[in-house]
Amino acid sequence: MYITEDEVRAALTYQALIPAIRQALVDYSAGLVDQPARMMLRAGNAEGYLNGWFAVMPVVAGDVMAVKTVTFYPGNADAGLHTHMAVIELLRRSTGEPLAVMDGRLITEMRTAAVSAVVLATLSPPRVSSLGILGSGVQARSHIQAFRMVRGFKDIRIWSRNPMNAEVLAEQTGARAVAIEEAAAADVVLTVTASPTPVLEGRWLSPHALVLAVGATGASLRELDDEVMRTSFVVAESRSCVERESGDVRLSGAKVDAEIGEILSGSAAAPSNGRIVFKSVGMAIEDLTAARLVWQAHSNILN
């Protein structure tokens, strides 16, 4: 069975995905997920930042197994193509039977936003009023959708290196296009840029800001400067993944204080005051969780 992106879109909702991702993060931190390190190869298509990468992400959890192959080509944006593309295979754990192969681009987009929504619901006060977004691409749009499932922001501020892109997204989502300093001064700040060097400076942030750092996946790439990282309580999806793959953590010398699954389960606590940074690099268990929901919904349609 092959499930196309259009079929994934029809089957997968944030209403179902966000609580499923929440449980998956708890299970991961509880040691119930077998997830080896992501294998990454450089494509060799270009020099420096434009050099794409190819990754393989296997995982075993519950009654299923999955493997995602994913590519990231930063230069695709200039050609009007998606920068991330992916395929996910889902298999039955008890027999190894393939259950479905599905397009993984939208799954990657939605599960990333769902993780951030779980963190937002867990670590932000119920009545935060402002959201600042650095970036105006696919992830900015999907995060606005997912965040509206868990928080009602009165003021959404968008900054982009391309002011026209920020204006368009703001008009379409009821937000405002603003200068980067104003976006960074919000209660919650989301970074979803493809920048290889820091764009968010700690001096712009509120002392009690929640920063959700989603872009710049790679050991040599950064979105956040040293002040942001060294003056914040740092939360990760996975210590091992973030310490291995996040330039924001590796290059700043910051340490991961807790996994979000530990906070969700109550085995760790986040501070009630002060700044918090959540660093996301994406995990295979999140892809498996979304793919399982798609397969179940698609199977019900067929039956």
Residue 274: CATH number of its domain: 3.40.50.720
* 289 and 278 together in one domain: no
Residues spanned by the domain of 96: 2-107+285-302
- Domain containing 72 — which CATH number? 3.30.1780.10
Same domain, residue pair 132 and 263:
yes
SS3 159: strand
* pTM metric for this prediction: 0.95
Same domain, 144 and 266: yes
**Structural domain count, the chain:** 2
**Which pLDDT value is given to residue 55?**
94
Contact by Cβ (8 Å): 112, 145: no
pLDDT in tens, 134-162: 999 999 999 999 999 999 999 999 999 99
Condensed to tens digits (0 to 9), the pLDDT of residues 18-63 reads 999 999 999 999 999 999 999 999 888 888 778 888 999 999 999 9
Rounded mean pLDDT of the chain? Answer: 94
At 236 the pLDDT is: 97
Domain identity same for 197 and 251: yes
Using alpha carbons only, what angle is made at residue 7 by residues 6 and 9, rounded to the nearest 5 degrees? 65
Residue whose entry in the numeric block shows the structure tokens 């698609």: 298
For the record, the structure tokens of 289 come out as 């969780």
Taking the C-alpha atoms of residue 300 and residue 282, their distance in angstroms, rounded to an integer, is 28
